[in-house]
């Protein structure tokens, strides 16, 4: 009985060994077939690329270390070219996938330093100032204030002669003393004390652009500046102030010396 039992154990061990051998043999065969299929697919892909791009033979170049891409059992210049083309196509496919993903994704805000007034990041940014209109030159300010334009138009209608002055300015006081006290001018000049006017600074800037004189006093006759304090004093000394005013005003303005009139009345 003991020998039958030993025989049975030996048979079982032999059967187990046969089963294990068959199992490992089957796995090795499966792996080998998969590798052959992979190599066959790779070779077909490379051959298709070569056919599509018309890759020529290397013309006797020395063998190059690497993969036998064209399956001609020789790693040569042609294999390197094929490998490079495959790498380029892979990079192009990767870039195309990235571009497609970016197009489908949410819009990213533009860089604030690069965008003004447009885009998702431009909210609250300061827009560039409008350019001056063509053909106006220095007579066109960058940002004309409609209120200033309206007030200035009203001022210029008050009299043919406008004296833009400042109440504390000695040069303005000198010009006003000559025009208002030494001469009798009809219609009487209209005085604008810019330091007392709520829009004085803006009016002075606008008049400076119009006349080219940014300081006070600034005496205008029918919209033309005849000068400031020094110019008025010089014209008075040379007895040419009346002629200067009537040159712009003509018969619409009369200018005479106040003391000359007084002397005539006393006589």
Q: How far is the CA of 199 from the CAs of 25, 79, 187, 220, in angstroms?
A: 103, 83, 25, 18
Asked if 58 and 78 touch (Cβ cutoff 8 Å), the reply is yes
Host H or E run for residue 77: helix 77-104
| Mean pLDDT value across residues 59-66 | 44
Q: How far is the CA of 113 from the CAs of 108, 110, 128, in angstroms?
A: 15, 9, 13
Q: List, for residues 136-173, the tens digit of each pLDDT value.
A: 443 444 457 999 999 999 999 999 999 999 999 999 99
Average pLDDT, the chain: 75
Residues 6+ apart with CB under 8 A from 211: 218, 220, 224, 225
Asked if 241 and 178 touch (Cβ cutoff 8 Å), the reply is yes
Q: Rounded to whole angstroms, how far apart are CA atoms 241 and 233?
A: 9
Q: List, for residues 5-48, the tens digit of each pLDDT value.
A: 778 888 888 888 887 888 777 777 766 666 656 556 555 655 65
- Give me 188's structure tokens: 């009487």
Asked if 84 and 50 touch (Cβ cutoff 8 Å), the reply is no
Nearest alpha-carbon partner for 241 in 226, 253, 252: 226
Q: Rounded to whole angstroms, how far apart are CA atoms 250 and 186?
A: 12
Q: List, for residues 216-257, the tens digit of each pLDDT value.
A: 999 999 999 999 999 999 999 999 999 999 999 888 999 999
Angle, CA 142 vertex, CA 138 and CA 145 arms, to 5°: 110
User: 146-266 domain in CATH 3.40.30.10?
Assistant: yes
Per-residue confidence (pLDDT) for residue 182, from 0 to 100: 94
Per-residue confidence (pLDDT) for residue 29, from 0 to 100: 73
- Torsion sign across C-alpha atoms 234, 238, 242, 248: negative
**Residues forming CATH 3.40.30.10 domain(s) in the chain:** 146-266
| 213 φ/ψ sector (left φ>0, alpha ψ -120 to 50, else beta) | beta
Q: Work out the pLDDT band at 203, boundaries 50, 70, 90.
A: very high
57 pLDDT higher than 50: no
125 pLDDT higher than 60: no
Report the predicted TM-score, pTM, of the whole model to 2 decimal places.
0.47
84 pLDDT higher than 60: yes
Please give, one letter per residue, the 3-state secondary structure of 222-242. CCEEEECHHHHHHHHHCCCHH
23 cis-preceded (ω within 30 degrees of 0): no
């Amino acid at each position: 009985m003991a020998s039958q039992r030993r025989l049975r154990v030996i048979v079982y061990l032999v059967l187990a060994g046969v089963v294990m051998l068959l199992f490992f043999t089957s796995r090795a065969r499966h792996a080998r077939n998969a590798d052959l299929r992979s190599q066959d697919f790779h070779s077909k892909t490379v051959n298709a690329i070569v056919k599509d791009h018309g890759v020529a033979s290397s013309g006797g170049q020395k063998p190059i270390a690497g993969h036998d891409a064209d399956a001609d059992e020789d790693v040569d210049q042609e294999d390197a070219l094929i490998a490079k083309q495959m790498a380029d196509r892979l990079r192009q496919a990767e870039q195309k996938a990235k571009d497609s993903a970016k197009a489908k994704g949410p819009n990213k805000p533009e860089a604030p330093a690069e965008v003004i007034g447009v885009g998702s990041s431009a909210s609250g940014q300061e827009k560039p100032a409008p350019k001056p209109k063509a053909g106006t030159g220095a007579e066109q300010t960058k940002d004309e204030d409609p209120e200033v334009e309206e007030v200035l138009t009203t001022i210029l209608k008050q009299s043919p002669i406008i004296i833009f002055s400042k109440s504390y300015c000695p040069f303005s006081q000198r010009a006003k003393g000559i025009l208002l006290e030494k001469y009798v001018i009809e219609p009487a000049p209209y005085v604008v004390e810019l330091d007392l006017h709520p829009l004085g600074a803006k009016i002075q800037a606008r008049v400076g652009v119009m006349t080219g004189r940014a300081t006070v006093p600034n005496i205008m006759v029918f919209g033309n500046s005849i000068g400031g304090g020094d110019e008025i004093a010089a014209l008075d000394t040379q007895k040419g102030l009346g002629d200067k005013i009537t040159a712009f005003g003509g018969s619409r303005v009369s200018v005479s010396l106040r003391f000359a009139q007084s002397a005539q009345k006393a006589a």
